Amino acid sequence: MNDMEQLKALDPARGHEPSPEQWARARADVERIVRAAPANPWPRRAVLGAAAAAVAVGIVAVSTVVPGATEKAFASWTPRPGTVEGEQRLALARTCATSWGGTSVAPEDVLVAESRGTSSLVIMKKPGGAVAECMTVVPDEVFGWQQLTEGPVATPPGTTTTLETMSSRGSGDSAYSSIVGRVGPDVTGVDVRLDDGRVIGASVASGWWTAWWPGEQGGQPERTSVVVHTAAGSTTHNPMELP
C-alpha cells in the first residue's frame, strides 16, 4: 500500500459523496477563509504563532472533507458549556492526541473538557508537560488544535485571571472565535460578554478557562469583556489588560 492509499484509508468521509448543495457550501467556506485577513490573532505567547496556523489548516481540512460540519456545529452551539465525563472524556482526548502523534492519554492529562452542541473541546497535557487545546465538530475528527505552552505551568495564585490567547477564524457566517486563559483557585467562574449582548460561559477547571463562539469578536478585543466571578463578587476586564 503506497502513501496515498494509506491516507485514503484514514479518510473519515470515504464512501460518502456529498450533495451538490453541500459541495457548494464547502467551496464557499474555503473561499471565504482564503480571502479573509490572517485570522486577527491576539496571542500572548510567541509559541502561539505557529499553533494558530495549525488551527487554520484544521478548519480548511474539515470544511473540505466534511461539508456541513461547521454549519451543524454553529447551529447546535450553546452559550453555556456541557460537561464531558468518564470514558467520553478520555475518548475525546485520545482523538486529539492523534494530532501530535500521541499514543496514550491518562485521566490526569485532561484538564478541561466541554461540549457545546455537536462540538467538543479539550485542554490537555502533551508528553513532556506542554499544554494544548483541541476541538472536534464531528465524532473522532479533529477540527483544529493549538499548543498553549511549551512546558508545564503553575496555577496562578488567588483570583488571578490571565489571557493566553484570543483569536478569530474565517469571516462572515463561517467566522468563529476562541479565548483561553488561566485562573487561580479562588475564581469560581468566567464569562465572556460580547458587544451584541451575548454572554458566553467559559469552562473553568484545573487552573484553565476557555470558551468559543460563532462570530468575529475574538479578533476584535474592543468588542469583548471578560467577567471574573469570585466569592467576593464579580469584576469586568478588557481582555487585553489581563496579565
List C-alpha distances in Å: 30 to 61, 66, 146, 171, 172.
9, 12, 20, 10, 12
Does pLDDT of 131 surpass 60? yes
Least confident of 80-84, 137-141, 142-146, 211-215: 137-141
pTM: 0.75
Backbone angles phi and psi of 212, in degrees to 5: -140, 160
pLDDT at 173: 81
pLDDT at 186: 98
Does pLDDT of 125 surpass 70? yes
pLDDT at 116: 96
pLDDT at 12: 44
Q: Which of 42, 174, 186, 201 is nearest to 112 (CA)?
A: 201
Structure confidence at residue 34 as a pLDDT band (50, 70, 90): very low
Does pLDDT of 3 surpass 60? no
pLDDT at 194: 97
List C-alpha distances in Å: 150 to 125, 147, 184, 190, 212.
10, 8, 20, 25, 22
Does pLDDT of 126 surpass 90? yes
